[in-house]
Structure 1
Amino acid sequence: MAERTESSIDIDATPGAVLDVIADFDSYPSWAGEVKKVAVLSEDGDGWADQVEFTLDAGAIKDTYVLDYDWDVTEDGTGVVSWSLVTAQVLKAMNGSYTLHGDGTSTTVTYRLAVDVKIPMLGMLKRKAEKVIIDTALKELKNRVES
């Protein structure tokens, strides 16, 4: 699963404000359309979520899965939030990251994602699905942060 898809978006907010929205998993069902339920299963010593369970309903793909998070971020919110799949029913792999770069007033967020499913699917269709997931997630993140 070496191939991945990535896209970027500029958000009119500081990296810290963007990071706050990314880290607020309990609020995802209110703004991330395909996420129906979220439960933080464990946190590290600094209060960052370590493992998070998501219930997803993305039309053809419905799944409940657990992601393991790594927070390589600085005090101002810049850096990388990455995740990897721990368990799932339909997904075989889901590795991704948000990279946040900011100038103090705005933030560029780059989202990288590689997904694999247990059912057979052409690589081209997987990349197209990843692109839709990424573009939707970035737009929803931007709308949430800037609202």
Structure 2
Amino acid sequence: MADRTSSSITVKAGKAEIMAVIADLEAYPTWASGIRGFTVQKRGEDGRPSRAALTFEGGPFTDTVGLAYTWEGDDRVAWKLVEAGSVVTSLNGSYTLDERDGATEVIYEMSVDVRVRLLGIVKRRAEKHIIDSALKGLKRHVES
């Protein structure tokens, strides 16, 4: 992912438990702010989503996009945009999990492009806000 934003958080749980929460896309609206809904359209042989439609709220707009997922066991999941929305024209991201001593570092990387022209610093600030909100929501959900 060129020109991406990333952040990390430590969660007091194992990789398998955290990845199970990440893989439950349809539950995201209960813990991830800004996510209005996920519809899983296709699953892989492992039962995890391979294609999904994401509807989210981002400030003054709401959009729905199609995403394709690639899972690497409980170590990593990556997604890429396969169907643009009315605002979002590119969206790539990943969660990478690294378990140590009963806790797991979760790294979230993302790059997004929209039809509206934004200054680079504004775009990165928005990406950072999305990532940090998602990581905090994931931590709260898993540790509760």
Q: Which TM-score bucket, shorter chain as reference?
A: over 0.9
| Match for residue 114 of structure 1 among 111, 114, 125 | 111
Q: Which amino acid aligns with 1:81?
A: V
1:47 partnered with 2:43:
no
Q: Distance in 2 between matches of 1:4 and 1:33?
A: 21
In the TM superposition, what is the alpha-carbon distance from 1:69 to its structure 2 partner? Answer: 0.4
Q: Is the 8 Å Cα contact of residues 99 and 109 (structure 1) preserved in structure 2?
A: yes
The residue type paired with residue 92 of structure 1 is T
Moved over 6 A (4+): none
State which of 80, 84, 97 in structure 2 corresponds to 1:84.
Answer: 80
- Cα distance between partner residues in 2 of 1:46 and 1:13: 22
- 1:66-81 to structure 2, matched below 5 A, reads 66-73=66-73, 77=74, 79-81=75-77
State which of 88, 95, 98 in structure 2 corresponds to 1:98.
95
User: Is it true that 1:30 corresponds to 2:27 in the alignment?
Assistant: no
8 Å CA contact 1:23–1:48 kept in 2: the answer is yes
| Secondary structure of 1:13 counterpart | coil
The aligned counterpart of 1:124 is: 121
Q: Which residue of 1 aligns with 2:7?
A: 7
TM-score (ref. length: structure 2)? 0.95
User: The residue matched to 1:65 in structure 2 has which SS?
Assistant: strand
Instruction: Give the Cα–Cα distance (whole angstroms) in 1 for the partners of residues 61 and 100 of structure 2.
Output: 37
Residue in 1 that maps onto 2:18: 18
State the shift of 1:104 in Å.
Answer: 5.4
**Could you tell which deviates more after superposition, 6-15 or 100-109?**
100-109
Segments of structure 2 that go 5 or more residues without pairing to the other structure are: none
SS at match of 1:45: coil
What SS class does the counterpart of residue 133 from structure 1 fall into?
Answer: helix
